[in-house]
Structure 1
Amino acid sequence: MAGNSQRKGAIKKTGKGNPTAGSGGRVRRGLEGKGPTPKAKDRPNHKVYKQVNKVDKSAAARPKRRTTKSSDAEWIAGRNSVVEALREGVPVNGIYVAEGAERDSRLREAFKLAADKGLNLLEVTRNEMDRMTGGAVHQGLCARIPAYEYAHPDDLLDAAAANGEKPLIVALDQVTDPRNLGAIVRSAAGFGAHGVLIPERRAAGMTASAWKTSAGAAARIPVAQTVNLTRQLKAYQDAGCMVIGLAADGDITLPELDLADGPLVVVVGSEGNGLSRLVAETCDQLVSIPMANQVESLNAGVAASVTLYAIAQARA
């Protein structure tokens, strides 16, 4: 119909009521200045911006090194155990004594060692101490040690690089006795290793028993945890390390080992089962320790000590 401005294609002739007519409305706002042009690295559609952010994303995509802690704090119960832990430098948060506990030479020594180390002495009821220690035989004395903080496996390589040395790492496969772990940590520190690697599961951790057996060496050498031991051994191989495993039926004997002076990872298996199949297949060489009597065998701690001594002599 003529004059019907609502029909499709109709053009409104008047500017009345039209916010775009004249020099006002959106036209005026469109003419306003927007400030200086941003730099290329700040403009999302510019190739320079994309290149810069591509580098940033790749850096962010790299896995961050993480440290892990043991699940919870641990209690050392008993007068002899507490005194030995304090003598060996086991990290302790506090010493707890039960109300009315009989003062003897061990208790007095524990008090003196705690005072020398600046540790808190707290008196609690026997019922409370029973609860804290899970009903252990505490003899009126116990100590609380903090959760152990494990290093990242790559930190062991960094420790060697920082000293300008070729890496020497001890890895444990299915070693479940914390005393063997502590003994190996002590030997690793004594013979110049750069760290000890243990699996997160089905293996001993840095408990009070391991700390005590290490004789304080756990404070001087890092212990790292890995989710998958086989995968981490392959990562060490990619980093240039040779991986040898200790086995009774090894391909060569320890005196024949010609890899001792290079970047090396020594894998120690459990005393009962030795190395697991996947770990043994991952090793570059399987090495045996020659024995005078084939019936005799060495536990994990002693085997690691003998091997580390031989490697230290070869490197010297």
Structure 2
Amino acid sequence: MSDKNEVKPAAEDSDFVIGRHPAVAALKSDQEINKVFLQEGLKHEAIAQILTLAKKRGLVVQTVPKTKLDRLVSHENHQGVVLAVAAFKYAELDDLFKVAEERDEAPFFLILDSLNDPHNLGSIMRTADAVGAHGIIIPKRHAVGLTSVVAKTSTGAIERVPVVRVTNLVNTVKALKDRGLWIFGTDMNGTDYRRFDATGPVGIIIGNEGKGIAPLLKKSVDEMLTIPMVGEVQSLNASVAASLLMYQAFQSRHPLA
């Protein structure tokens, strides 16, 4: 006899959104959602909001024990909410330019060279949304893609920041330069990032957590930026470095009066 609360594994073309804030963001977006799982016995304002949004969209809502949700998302911190969603969709490069055009702004893109940590990608997406970046470009191979962990870490930004996945970053950077972008990277020897002027069309490359920017890709960079450090630790987490550069870009685009 089957358990009425049985949670079946996701299909290969599906993924999960986990956590309360990401779930609310997904339910308010155009994201295709297959089913809503709620932990039984939870009473919270956010849970009530999720239930209301799910019913408004006519979605199937299933109440299950916490242990079943734990198994479903490999014991990630789900906060009692899991959405089974269609696999996250990637944008096209032209979509990023369209976002910039619709906002009447010079393009501002992030180019992530083979990041492996989904928490880094999610954090970068969150900051990219905060500063108004028009999109993120990642490689198809040897890099983390859009996953449930990325979605949760982004706290909903995954629904607002388009992500393009490309076969070859070097060729993509060349195409971006042909379309008028100036490409900046990070290096120990470069221009102090506080002098970074992002008022024009720009792309910022953030390197891999351990290896930095690949040598061939580094040759495509117009200018290197350095984040000065006076402590003994001479490196920063990829998402922290990206955040500093993005906010310098924000400052140059939105200076104080």
TM-score (norm 1): 0.64
Matched, 1:210 2:147: no
- Residue 82 of structure 1: CA displacement? 4.3
Which deviations, in whole Å up to 9, do the C-alpha atoms of 1:247-286 show, x marking residues without a partner?
2x132120233x4221100001122211111111111111
Aligned twin of 1:236 = 176
Partner Cα distance (1:192, 1:83) in 2: 23
Aligned twin of 1:182 = 122
Counterparts of residues 26-105 of structure 1 (less than 5 Å): 72-75=13-16, 81-83=18-20, 85-87=22-24, 89=26, 91=31, 92-96=33-37, 103-105=41-43
- Residue 293 of structure 1: CA displacement? 1.4
Q: How many residues align?
A: 234
Matched, 1:117 2:117: no
Matched, 1:256 2:195: yes
Q: 1:147 aligns with which of 87, 91, 98?
A: 87
Aligned twin of 2:227 = 289
- Residue 201 of structure 1: CA displacement? 1.3
| Unpaired runs of at least 5, structure 2 | 1-11
Percent sequence identity is 33
| Contact 1:270-1:300 within 8 A present in 2 as well | yes
Aligned twin of 2:96 = 156
Aligned twin of 1:272 = 210
Partner Cα distance (1:123, 1:182) in 2: 28
Matched, 1:192 2:192: no
Structure 2 counterpart of 1:213, which letter?
Answer: T
More strand by share: 2
Which deviations, in whole Å up to 9, do the C-alpha atoms of 1:211-248 show, x marking residues without a partner?
1221212222211111111110110011111111122x
| Unpaired runs of at least 5, structure 1 | 1-70
Partner Cα distance (2:134, 2:81) in 1: 36
| Contact 2:185-2:223 within 8 A present in 1 as well | yes
- Residue 194 of structure 1: CA displacement? 0.9
Partner Cα distance (1:311, 1:125) in 2: 46
| Contact 1:114-1:120 within 8 A present in 2 as well | no
Structure 2 counterpart of 1:198, which letter?
Answer: I
Aligned twin of 1:222 = 162
Partner Cα distance (2:103, 2:138) in 1: 23
Q: Higher Cα Rg: structure 1 or 2? A: 1
Partner Cα distance (1:201, 1:297) in 2: 25
Q: Which has the higher contact order (CA 8 A, sep 6+)?
A: 2
Partner Cα distance (2:231, 2:248) in 1: 20
TM-score (norm 2): 0.78
